[in-house]
Structure 1
Amino acid sequence: MSQGAGAEVPIPLSALAAVQQALRTVHTAAGLQATLQAIADGVTTSTPYQEIAVTVAKEPNAAELHTITVVGTPEAQAALLNTTCQRAALEEHLAGGEQWGSLRLRRGPDTTEGITTYWPEFEPLDVPDAWLPDYELNAPLYAPDGELVGMLSMDQPRGGRIPAPWVNEILEVFAEQAVIAILNARRHEQALRAMETLEREKAELHAAFTEQCARETHLRSETRRDPLTGLANRVMLEERLAELLAAQTPVAVVFCDLDHFKQVNDTHGHAVGDEVLRVTGHRLARSLADAACVARIGGDEFVVVAADVQEPAASKLLQRIGEAFSAEPVEALGLRLRVTSSLGLVCEAAHEGPVSPARRVEELLDRADREMYAHKRSRAGVDHLLTLADRA
Structure 2
Amino acid sequence: MGEEGATTVFELLRPGRGLLLLAPGDEARREELRAAAAPWRDRVRIATAAGADAEAGPAALLVRPDGHVAWSDGTPDTAPGEDLTAALERWFGPAALRPPRPAAPREAAKVTPVTAPAREVRGGGTDRLAGRTALVTGSSRGMGRAAAIRLAEEGALVAVHYTSDGAAADEVVASVEKDGGRAFAIRAELGVPGDVESLFGALEADLLERTGSTDLHILVNNAGVMGGVGPADITPDQFDRIFAVNAKAPFFLIQRALRNMPDGGRIINISSGLTRFANPDEIAYAMSKGALEQLALHFAKALGPRGITINSVAPGITRNGNPVFDIPEAVEQMASLSAFNRVGEPEDVADVVAFLATDEARWITGSFVDATGGTLLG
Normalising by structure 2, report the TM-score. Answer: 0.21
Which has the larger helix fraction? 1
Which has the larger strand fraction? 1
Question: Larger Cα Rg: Structure 1 or Structure 2?
Answer: 1
